[in-house]
Every structure is written in C-alpha cells, then in structure tokens.
Structure 1
Amino acid sequence: MAFHEVSLPARLAFGSTGGVERRTEVVTLGSGFERRSTPWAQGRRRYLIGANLRSLDDMATLTAFFEARRGRLYGFRFRDFADFKSCAPGAGVAATDQTLGTGDGVATVFPLGKTYGDQTREITKPVAGSVRVAVDGVEQGGAGFTVEAATGRVTLTVPPAPGAAVTAGFVFDTPVRFDADRIEVTLESFGAGRMVAMPLIEIRV
C-alpha cells in the first residue's frame, strides 16, 4: 500500500474531531428478534481536521501537505492526541503497559498491540525511540531488542523463556489518508481565512 512515513504537523491537528467507527449489520426477523454481525474485526478511526485553522500560513502548510500526499493517494502518520500511548493519555509510558505475548523459547518477533477490553488493536506505526520492552517484568536495554518503526514488530535479541510474559510500552501514530480529493480555503481578511474541514480515515498497512 502506498504510504509516506511522514507525520502531519501536530499544530494542524489541534481542534480536530473524531473517534472510532464500527460497522454492524442488523437484520430484523419477522418475529421481531434481531441478528447482528460485523465484517470488521477491528474498529476504524475517522477524523475531521482544519476547521479551526485561521492563519493563512497554517492553511498553506496543510495545503502543501495535501498536495504532497496527492490527495487520497498516499497514507501518512497522524497523532490522535486522545489515543496515542500504550497507557492513559495523561500517564507515563512503562515497559509493562501492554502484553505482546508469551515466550516459547524459540520466537523472537512480537507485534505491538493495544488492548481495549477484550479487543486488541494492532499498532503498526510506533514512534521511533519511544518503545520500551520487558520480559517477565524486567525491562530490556537498547541492545536487547529492535523495533521496526514502519510495521510495529519488536524483535528480541534472545528468545524469551517458555512462559515468560513479553510486554511493552510505546507512543504511536495512526496511519491515515485524506478522505477527500478537494481542499477549500476562504479568504476572510488580510492574513486570515477559513478552511472547510478535511476528513481523514484510518487505513490498514
């Protein structure tokens, strides 16, 4: 999938709105009972950005970013400040925040994930340098693991012993793309304007 490993400037995200979307198919039977199912294993995030921008310089920055992504063609990183850590937004990242798996004495690769209740969201865009890893509660030093920032896969130098819990803490971005092929700016006064909100949608990478 076409993806650019660049981040939308954080200041352009302030004032954004968005959240998780689920797709549920509901069939009402003749008896009045319902049958509900979903084709999606995970939720999908949607956002609206740019509606609060007033500076023409910021609008020009967003327009340039939009052009560089060719509109909807290329994905990019977006920091969702309501959900961007392995822990609560106001807490500090710890190596024991999220469980990645259990050692078997052979496996060394563990994908990053964040748990929401009984659902686990795959994290594919960790922020470089933010990942902390522990095995059975013992944090691993920099030489103990590597992280692929473009995929979210953690590779341990030594296979964890059978039954050892592998955990991690991290900061992450959400992979998104623009969900419109048009950007509109209204000039309201010298140096100030108004922009129509731009939709973003999470993508699978």
Structure 2
Amino acid sequence: MAFHEVRFPANLSFGSVGGPERRTEIVTLTNGFEERNSPWAHSRRRYDAGLGLRSLDDVAALVAFFEARRGQLYGFRWKDWADFKSCAASKKPGPEDQILGTGDGLARVFALRKGYASGGAVYWRPIVKPVAGSVTVALARRPVAEGIDWQVDVATGQITFADPVPEGEVVTAGFEFDVPVRFDTDRIQTSVASFQAGDVPNVPVVEVRL
C-alpha cells in the first residue's frame, strides 16, 4: 500500500473528533435470542480533520497536505491526541508499559502492541507507526539500550534484538505512536466567507491496515 512516512500537522489534528469503530453482525433468532459475530479482529479509527482548523492559514496547510497526498491515494501518519502513548495520558512512557511477549531462546523480533483491559478482558492493538526516538525497551524489567541491544523499525513497529531473547524473559516497551490513515474523500470544499463565519470543512480521515 502506498504510504508516506509523514505526519499530518499535529496542530491541525488537535481539536479534531474521532475514535475507534467496530463492526458487529447481529442476527436475531426466532426465539428472540441473538447471535453476534465480528468479522474484524481489530478496530478501525475515524477522525474529522476539519474541526482542528482555526484560521485561513490552517486551511492552506490542509490543502497543501491533501494535494501532496493526492487525496486518498497515499496514506500518512496521524496523531490521535486522545490516545498516542503506551501509558496513561497523564504519564510519560516507560520501558515496562506494555508486554510484547516472552522469550523462547530463539526469537529476536517482537511487535509493538498496546493492551486495552477492562473487566478481565483485554484487547491487544498492533502498533505499527511508533514515533522515532520515543521507544524504550526492557528485558525482565531491565532497561536495554537502543542501537546496541535492539533496534526498532518505525515504519512497521517491529523490535529486533541483537541476540535471541533468553527463554522465559518478558519483553516490555514504552512508546508514543501515530495512527496510519488516509483521507476518506477526494474533495475538500471551503470558502473564505464560510470559514470566517465559523463554518469549517468536513475532512474525513480513516485508519488503514498495513
């Protein structure tokens, strides 16, 4: 899939509205009971980039970004201000935030992920667009050095260790991350008069699978 490793201007995404979307198929049986199934293993996020615009300069920046991505053609990074850390919003990411897996003495590659837990259930979200310079890693609660013990591919979210992780050692990580998205429209409509009157354009953005 065509993707540009560039982030939508963070000052424009601040104030936008959006969040996760699920797809659930519900069949009501003749006895009144329901059968529910989801064809999606992972949620998909949608946002409205238009709500972050505050000036005509912002509109110009949006149009330039839209044109450079050729509308819906190229994906890009998006900062979800409500969910962009491996930890709570009020905290700073640390190397023990998220469990990536347990070593078996052979594996060297582990994928970044974030767990969402509630009521004994947990959903593990794949993180494929970590922010460069934000990732920290620990083995068995011992911080390990980037560039010496491990490396991260910020385009895929894969952590690769220099040596296989010893059997039984838990791999954890902390990070900031972006959401891979694309514009969900091939047209942006705005005018000076309507914008000055407080009418901002609707600019839908949708998460893409990579």
- Fold equivalence (TM over 0.5): yes
8 Å CA contact 1:21–1:45 kept in 2: the answer is: yes
For the 8 Å contact 2:17–2:51, the answer to whether it is kept is no
**Structure 2 unmatched ranges of 5 or more:** none
Match of residue 204 from structure 1: 209
- Cα distance, 1:161 vs structure 2: 1.0
2 CA distance for matches of 1:139 and 1:190?
50
> What residue number does 1:13 align with?
13
**How far off is 1:48 after superposition?**
0.7
Q: Which residue number corresponds to residue 162 of structure 2?
A: 157
CA contact (8 A) 1:123 1:152 kept: yes
1:145–1:157 contact (8 Å) kept in structure 2: yes
The alpha-carbon distance between structure 1 residues 57 and 193, as it changes in their structure 2 partners (threshold 3 A), is farther
After superposition, give the CA deviation of every residue in 1:113-143 in whole Å (9 maximum; x if it has no partner).
0011211000000001110000000000121
2:188 maps to what in 1?
Answer: 183
For the residue of structure 2 that corresponds to 1:150, the secondary structure is: coil
Structure 2 counterpart of 1:128, one-letter code? A
Find the aligned partners of 2:158 and 2:125 in 1 and give their Cα distance. Answer: 14
Distance 1:191 1:108, change over 3 A: same
The counterpart of 2:127, out of the listed 120, 123, 128, is 123
- Quote the residue 1:171 is aligned against: 176
Distance 1:19 1:189 in 2: 27
**Paired residues of 2:22 and 2:43 also in contact (CA < 8 A):** yes
Q: Is the 1:184–1:195 Cα contact (8 Å) retained in structure 2?
A: no
Contact 1:106 1:160 in 2 (8 A): yes
Equivalent residues in 2 for 1:99-114, closer than 5 Å:
99-114=99-114
Residue aligned with 1:188, SS: helix
Supply the AA of the counterpart residue of 2:173: A
Q: Is 2:85–2:175's contact at 8 Å kept on the other side of the alignment? A: yes
Q: Aligned letter for 1:124?
A: V
With normalisation by structure 2, the TM-score equals 0.94
Q: Answer with 187-196 or 56-65: which moved more.
A: 187-196
C-alpha separation in 1, matches of 2:181 and 2:5: 11
What does residue 63 of structure 1 align with? 63
Are the aligned partners of 2:13 and 2:52 in contact in 1 as well (CA < 8 Å)? no
Shift of 1:195: 2.9
Shift in CA distance, 189/123, structure 1 to aligned 2, threshold 3 Å = closer
Contact 2:109/2:161, CA 8 A, preserved across alignment: yes
Identity in percent = 57
Q: Point out 4+ residue stretches in structure 1 off by more than 6 angstroms.
A: 189-193
Structure 1 residues 41 and 92, CA, compared in 2 at 3 Å: closer, same or farther?
A: same
Deviation at 1:52, TM superposition (A): 4.5
Over residues 142-197 of structure 1, what are the superposed CA-to-partner deviations in whole Å (9 max), with x where a residue is unaligned? 21110001000000112221000000000000000000111011212898874312
Gaps of 5+ in 1: none
Conserved? CA contact 1:56–1:193, under 8 Å: no
User: Quick one: structure 1 residues 129 and 12, their matched pair in 2 at CA, closer, same or farther if it must change by over 3 Å?
Assistant: same
- Seen in structure 2, the aligned counterparts of structure 1 residues 100 and 189 have a Cα distance that, compared at 3 Å, is closer
